[in-house]
Structure 1
Amino acid sequence: MFEARLVQGLILKKLLESFKDLVTEGNLDCSSTGISLQAMDSSHVSLVDVNLRAEGFDPYRCDRNLTLGVNFSFMSKILKCIGNEDIITLRSEDSADALNVTFESPNQEKVADYEMKLMNIDMEHLGIPDTDYDAVVHMPSHEFQRICRDLGQFGESVTIACTKDGIRFGASGDNLSGNITLRQNASVDKEEEQVTIELQEPVSLTFALRYLNFFTKATPLSNQVILSMSKAIPLSVEYRIGELGHIRYYLAPKIEEDDEGAAE
């Protein structure tokens, strides 16, 4: 038996909205410690990694490890029916071929039940190695979203360069180019407005803006985003979801433009 009840049910809707356009289906791996998901987009350029801790649900029950194969566009249709204050419960029997989803209003005057057929999805589980990154940047998530959106007007790629002076985002096309630099400001009163950089060594990498703009759909989940970079390995873009867990996106750098970006 698997059962997970989330008091702030709207978080699950926001979470699904943040990756359903990248990955259409995937396996929710349920265990005693929580729910996890790993899935690559169809072009195998980016990876979505979600981890929701059991402690974030009330109650949470998973009698044995369970894999739930989910079509995310179908699940999105169910979650569009949720009210802003609704409590959500996910439930499935050990051998069931369906996932039951229940919404309750806070006063329990309204209860809605939905059922979604599960899929058999043959998907390799990728081990993500622990990495000591050359640069780890904490910055406001809304600022990152705006930068990616704005620079999308100038080119298809963005070069992200981290130095001790700050983090610079640059994009260029045939006739236009633009650069946006953020400097550290850990002294700002509001923690969510801070920009902090942990730098082992300067790093400059180029990425496809199309994917970064997909990633920023997670902005409603967190006030801050964490960018972790090292030369020649995928960028990690992490949004922490309060006490519940996190969603991380990984994006491979554009190798053909790497040397050019590093030389700027």
Structure 2
Amino acid sequence: MKVKSESSKLWKNCIGAISNLIDEAAFKFTPEGVKMEAMDPSHVALVDFNLPSKSFEEYDVEETQVLGVDLIEMDKVVSRAKKDDKFVVELDEEKNRLVLKFEGASTRRFSLPLIEVEGEETPQPELDFSTSAKIQAGIIQDGLKDASLVADNVRFGATEEKFIMGAESDTGSSQMELSKSSEGLKELKVQKPSKSMFNISYLDDIIKAVSSSDFIDIRLGSDLPIKLDMPIGDGKGQLKFLLAPRIEAE
């Protein structure tokens, strides 16, 4: 088994974001592509990573391989990638290790032991979202930074005319609005007004997976989890997160 990505940036960003939430995961390499689903230990966040074979420069996987990896250790390795490095993943069956290589001005090689990862089912719940929006990642990052000045949680809300991010505490409040004419809002569909609150730290970790210029598909409801769908691999693949809400006390 051997796969090669033209750029290491995708893996560097994705593993960096996922490893902030999840310590270990099983990657399923199939002839069609690479998949991984996992839930964080506290069952607050669900991750769904899907990168089809066509998004790779080279993809040689004849039969399905399920490879358990310590994501914390993998993140240490991929963080060493340089901007123009190509990224190669190989399986060393004899040593039961995952081999990671960076090919650029030099070729650097690392190996990680494969681990047993419990094959826990992570079914995605059926949720009746009332709002869908497509928002630039950099706008979300700014809203989170603003909210973190006054609170640990941020409230997402939507009406037919605007999308809102805000926070409030004894120390103050923050609010950011996007109208349908805002450059950072590409799409807004609202069946009925929505409002939910989420932990800023989790969202910060999730947004690190994409560039500030990328647009994120967001699904929202009232006191429902938030779903963030991010394009990866030049739009050929997807990285999805489902984050549980913080229910406000009456």
Normalised to the residue count of structure 1, the TM-score between the two structures is 0.86
Match of 1:213 among 196, 199, 204: 204
Q: Secondary structure at the match of 1:243?
A: coil
| Structure 2: gaps of 5 or more residues | none
**Equivalent position amino acid for 1:4 in 2:** V
Match of 1:64 in 2: 63
Provide the C-alpha distance between the structure 1 equivalents of 2:125 and 2:31, rounded to a whole number of angstroms: 22
Report whether the alignment pairs 1:249 with 2:245. Answer: no
The aligned runs of 1:2-41 (5 Å cut-off) are 2-41=1-40
Q: Secondary structure at the match of 2:235?
A: coil
Tell me if structure 2 keeps the 8 A contact 1:136–1:226: yes
- For residue 95 of structure 1, report the CA deviation from its aligned partner: 7.4
Tell me if structure 2 keeps the 8 A contact 1:19–1:217: no
- For residue 69 of structure 1, report the CA deviation from its aligned partner: 0.6
The aligned runs of 1:69-148 (5 Å cut-off) are 69-92=68-91, 97-105=96-104, 110-129=106-125, 131=127, 133-148=129-144
Deviations 1:8-55, CA, capped at 9 Å, x for gaps: 122211211122111111111111221111122222111121111111
Tell me if structure 1 keeps the 8 A contact 2:134–2:186: yes
Report whether the alignment pairs 1:178 with 2:174. Answer: yes
Provide the C-alpha distance between the structure 2 equivalents of 1:21 and 1:72, rounded to a whole number of angstroms: 9
Match of 1:42 in 2: 41
Richer in helix (by share):
1
- How large is the Cα RMSD of the aligned pairs? 2.1
Q: Secondary structure at the match of 2:219?
A: strand
**Equivalent position amino acid for 1:7 in 2:** E
**Equivalent position amino acid for 2:242 in 1:** Y
Provide the C-alpha distance between the structure 2 equivalents of 1:179 and 1:238, rounded to a whole number of angstroms: 23
Normalised to the residue count of structure 2, the TM-score between the two structures is 0.91
Provide the C-alpha distance between the structure 2 equivalents of 1:28 and 1:221, rounded to a whole number of angstroms: 26
- For residue 116 of structure 1, report the CA deviation from its aligned partner: 1.0
Query: Does 16-25 or 109-118 show the bigger shift?
Result: 109-118
Match of 1:199 in 2: 190
Deviations 1:118-154, CA, capped at 9 Å, x for gaps: 1001141312256553111111100101101110111
Provide the C-alpha distance between the structure 2 equivalents of 1:139 and 1:35, rounded to a whole number of angstroms: 26
Match of 2:50 in 1: 51
Match of 1:240 in 2: 231
Tell me if structure 1 keeps the 8 A contact 2:143–2:166: no
Match of 1:166 among 158, 162, 165: 162
